[in-house]
Amino acid sequence: MVTGRTESGLELKTVYGPQDREGADPAAQLGEPGSYPYTRGVYPTMYTGRPWTMRQYAGFGTARESNARYHELVAAGSGGLSVAFDLPTQMGYDSDHQLAHGEVGKVGVAIDSVEDMHTLFDGLPLGEVSTSMTINAPAATLLLLYQLTAEEQGIPASALSGTVQNDVLKEYIARGTYIYPPAQSLRLVSDLFSYCRSEIPRWNTISISGYHMAEAGATPAQEIAFTLANAKEYVRAALSAGLAVDDFAPRLSFFFVARTTLLEEVAKFRAARRLWARIMKEEFGAQDPRSMMLRFHTQTAGVQLTAQQPEVNLVRVALQGLGAVLGGTQSLHTNAYDEAIALPSTKAARLALRTQQVMAHESDVASTVDPFAGSYAVESMTDDIEGAITELVQAVEDRGGAVAAIEQGFQKEQIEHAAYETAREIDGGERVVVGLNRFQVEDNDPYQPLRVDPAIEEEQCRRLTELRARRDGDAVARALEEVRRTAEGTGNLLVPMREALRLRATGGEVADALREVWGQHVPRETF
- Indicate the pairing of strand 252-258 with strand 296-300: parallel
- The 10 Å Cβ neighbour count of residue 231 is 24
- What is the model's pLDDT at position 389? 98
- What is the model's pLDDT at position 27? 47
- Indicate the pairing of strand 162-164 with strand 130-134: parallel
**Is residue 304 within 8 Å of residue 436, measured between CB atoms?**
no
Measured between alpha carbons, how far is 458 from 95 in angstroms, rounded to an integer?
9
Query: Which SS3 state, helix, strand or coil, does residue 449 take?
Result: coil
**Is residue 383 within 8 Å of residue 277, measured between CB atoms?**
no
Residue (of 297, 296, 303) closest to 317 by Cα position: 303
Q: How far is CA 431 from the centre of its chain?
A: 27
**Is residue 346 within 8 Å of residue 287, measured between CB atoms?**
no
- What is the model's pLDDT at position 527? 43
Structure letter (DSSP) for residue 464 = H
The backbone region for 162, taken as left when phi is positive above 0, alpha when psi lies in -120 to 50, beta otherwise, is: left
Per 3-state DSSP, what percentage of the chain is helix, strand, and coil (rounded to 5)? 50, 10, 40
The backbone region for 154, taken as left when phi is positive above 0, alpha when psi lies in -120 to 50, beta otherwise, is: left
**Is residue 392 within 8 Å of residue 225, measured between CB atoms?**
yes
Residue 425 contacts by C-beta under 8 Å, 6 or more apart in sequence?
A: 431
Measured between alpha carbons, how far is 161 from 158 in angstroms, rounded to an integer?
8
The pLDDT profile of the chain, 527 residues, written as one tens digit per residue, is 676 789 999 988 877 777 777 666 554 568 899 999 999 999 999 999 999 989 877 777 789 988 998 898 888 887 678 898 999 999 999 999 999 999 999 889 999 999 999 999 999 989 988 898 999 999 999 999 999 999 999 999 999 999 999 999 999 999 899 999 999 999 999 999 999 999 999 999 999 999 999 999 999 999 999 999 999 999 999 999 899 999 999 999 999 999 999 999 999 999 999 999 999 999 999 999 999 999 999 999 999 999 999 999 999 999 999 999 999 999 999 999 998 887 788 899 899 999 999 999 999 999 999 999 999 999 999 999 999 999 999 999 999 999 999 989 999 999 999 999 999 999 999 999 999 999 998 865 666 666 677 788 999 999 999 999 999 999 999 999 999 999 999 999 999 999 999 999 999 999 999 999 999 998 766 54
**Is residue 97 within 8 Å of residue 88, measured between CB atoms?**
yes
- Indicate the pairing of strand 11-13 with strand 2-5: antiparallel
- What is the model's pLDDT at position 236? 96
Residue 255 — φ and ψ, nearest 5°?
Answer: -140, 115
Tell the burial category of 488 from Cβ atoms under 10 Å away from its Cβ (0-12, 13-18, 19+).
Answer: exposed
Q: How far is CA 351 from the centre of its chain?
A: 22
Q: Where are the extended beta strands (E) located within 293-401?
A: 296-300, 331-333
Measured between alpha carbons, how far is 256 from 217 in angstroms, rounded to an integer?
13
Instruction: Write the single-letter amino acid at 85.
Output: F
Measured between alpha carbons, how far is 221 from 386 in angstroms, rounded to an integer?
8
Query: What is the end-to-end Cα distance of the chain in Å, rounded?
Result: 40
Measured between alpha carbons, how far is 418 from 230 in angstroms, rounded to an integer?
19
Measured between alpha carbons, how far is 219 from 264 in angstroms, rounded to an integer?
11
- What is the model's pLDDT at position 25? 58
- What is the model's pLDDT at position 16? 76
- What is the model's pLDDT at position 48? 93
Query: Which SS3 state, helix, strand or coil, does residue 438 take?
Result: strand
List, as one string, the DSSP characters of 378-426. HHHHHHHHHHHHHHHHHHHHHTTSHHHHHHTTHHHHHHHHHHHHHHHHH
